[in-house]
Chains A and B, each alone.
Chain A
Amino acid sequence: MSDHLGHVVERGAQASPLHTAGMALECRDLGFSYTEARTQIPALRDVAFSLEAGGSLALLGASGSGKSTLLQVVKGLDAPETGAVLLDGAGGGEAGYSGLQRQVGLVFQTPELQLFAASAREDVAFGPRRLGWTEAEVAAAVDEALELVGLPPERFGERHPYALSGGEQRRLALAGVLAMRPRLLLLDEPFVSLDPATRRELSAILVRLRASGVTLVLATHDVDLAWALCDELLLLDAGRVRAAGGWEFGEEGAGLLGAERLREPFLVQLWRRLGRDPRQAPRTYAEAAEALA
């Protein structure tokens, strides 16, 4: 982990994004609905939670529970009908809010859909260019991001996005968001339809990102991934918050997860069955193996 970060810092003239403090996020009584087939569908209802700078939040819930909608409202692609999104304590309409919104990165589901440029570098540069940076700053950010996602710029920089494999395209799309140096990173199901090898590598990348101080919000079905990456969770059901806060592994906690057809993380279950304290269960398989070997 430190090797990689050290490498990045050495190359760039600008401070690496990974050393910028994360952004604090708060949602107050968010309400949002949209119209489909002439009916009003309430996607979010009274959603409230807070996440401190550098924190990590898992957004759990079934399909249609509102996870994607919440991420898009936080990013500012949709304005909430009621309530407010506070970035670093500032609300919409306050001075500097749009600047803060630009520091929020959102990676959509199957983000390969957004690839369009003629080369990997050009595509990753799209976001940074729109932030008004100089060409030199953009180039540095692009190379840094490509390096970070495991697509070394020397080999992949000029490759055409459509000539890359599915896993490589996913990494490229992620680089496109990371190059914008987000202080709050929102990820919507980052590993859907990825091959196992890429899943493992991207997991490791996200772990490193989190450790560097970026605030992380991860919407996912994968409870084990959520456990590995996030200290807190927010459980959504039909747009409402069912549970928020730390992972509780008492009777009630497991019951809440079960009601949403989610199970407890594997390592938690294992720790409990081994007679150890489930709240002290390790986050990664490597740590677990260390403890058991």
Chain B
Amino acid sequence: MVMTTPPDRIGTPEGTPAPLLDVRGLRYVYPGASVDALAGLSLAVGAGEFVAVVGANGSGKSTLARLLGGLEKPAGAEVATVCDHDLLTHEGRMNARRDVGVLFQNPENQLVAECVEDDVAFGLENLAWAPAEMLARVDEMLARFGLTELRRREPHLLSGGQKQRTALAGVLAVPRRILVLDEPTAMLDPAGREEVLAAARELRAEGLAVVYVTQEMDEVVGADRVLALEAGVVVYEGSVDGLFGDGDLVRRLGLGLPAAGELALELAARGRTVTPLPLTADDLLAALGGAS
């Protein structure tokens, strides 16, 4: 499940354009809570970047996803600009909802309409698109996500993976500049997981800025950058390899490791350190073969 990095994306030499998403000191408190869910978080993402956000339950990742989508009002921030919209203003948040797409964890609770094609059209209907243009766009999205034969199917007859693909098609039917995915594969079986991951992989090749929130380490491979959250703040920001190289941090964050990584952590506990954490049997064998 390795995602390949397009070679000419990272580190563009000439003056990099202003980031699509620029957030500094972002705070959020749940009503009635005494502790900040987000306690001063900073993040900048440019067009075409694929940024992974990892963290345990309660670290603030889902809160972040909702805030980036303009779906919640921040408690405060120094800067909170998303696609030139200010998240601190009501109008800014409403506009952000158009430019930022958010895909949630539970496929069942994102589908509104009685059949696939109507659900994919839902966002466009809300934006008052003309029926003819809507139909063309819906056809395009259905084809793109392999849903054309299922277009009149009712949601309860779809598999988990199909539901999540339908939800994704519906989110992307509205032309977006940023896509935020909040643990999109958590409730899916392996087949469904693979379908959604494949779709996400295609997207990054298209220049969309992607923020991928997950608890599974094997889903962050190939990301340009990864942020690790703990108790509402960023405790690590950098390359994916860098995070894999810090076994203690990974263990502390309680992240889901692929089998090779779990084994490596057990080996480390017995004095045999394997760095960076391997993701596949190949990585592990190479490290073991080399180390001894």
Using a CB–CB cutoff of 8 Å, the interface residues on chain A facing chain B are 62-63, 165-167, 192-193, 195-197, 199, 221, 224, 261, 266-267, 269-270, 273-274, 285-286, 288-290, 292-293
Contact = CB atoms under 8 A, between A and B. Distances in A.
Interface of B: 56-58, 105, 159, 186-187, 189-191, 215-216, 254-257, 259-260, 262-263, 265-267, 269-272, 281, 284-285, 288
7 contacts: A165-B58, A197-B56, A273-B285, A285-B265, A289-B266, A289-B269, A292-B272
A14 to B, nearest CB: 35
Contacts, number: 69
A192 B189 contact: yes
Consensus secondary structure, chain A interface: helix
Contacts of B254: 195-197
B44 to A, nearest CB: 28
Contacts of B284: 270
Given A166-B57, A195-B57, A196-B215, A292 B288 contact: yes
A266 B259 contact: yes
Contacts of B259: 224, 266-267, 285
A288 B285 contact: no
B291 to A, nearest CB: 11
Given A192-B189, A289-B266, A293-B272, A167 B57 contact: yes
Contact of A195 (B215, B269, B270): B215
Contacts of A266: 259-260, 263, 281
Question: A267, A290, A293 — which one has the most chain B CB atoms within 10 A of its CB?
Answer: A293
Nearest 5 CB-CB pairs, A to B? A196-B256, A289-B266, A266-B259, A293-B270, A197-B254
Contacts of A199: 256
A274 B190 contact: no
A193 B256 CA distance: 12
A290 B255 contact: no
Contacts of A288: 263, 266
Given A63-B159, A292-B267, A285 B191 contact: no
A117 B271 CA distance: 47
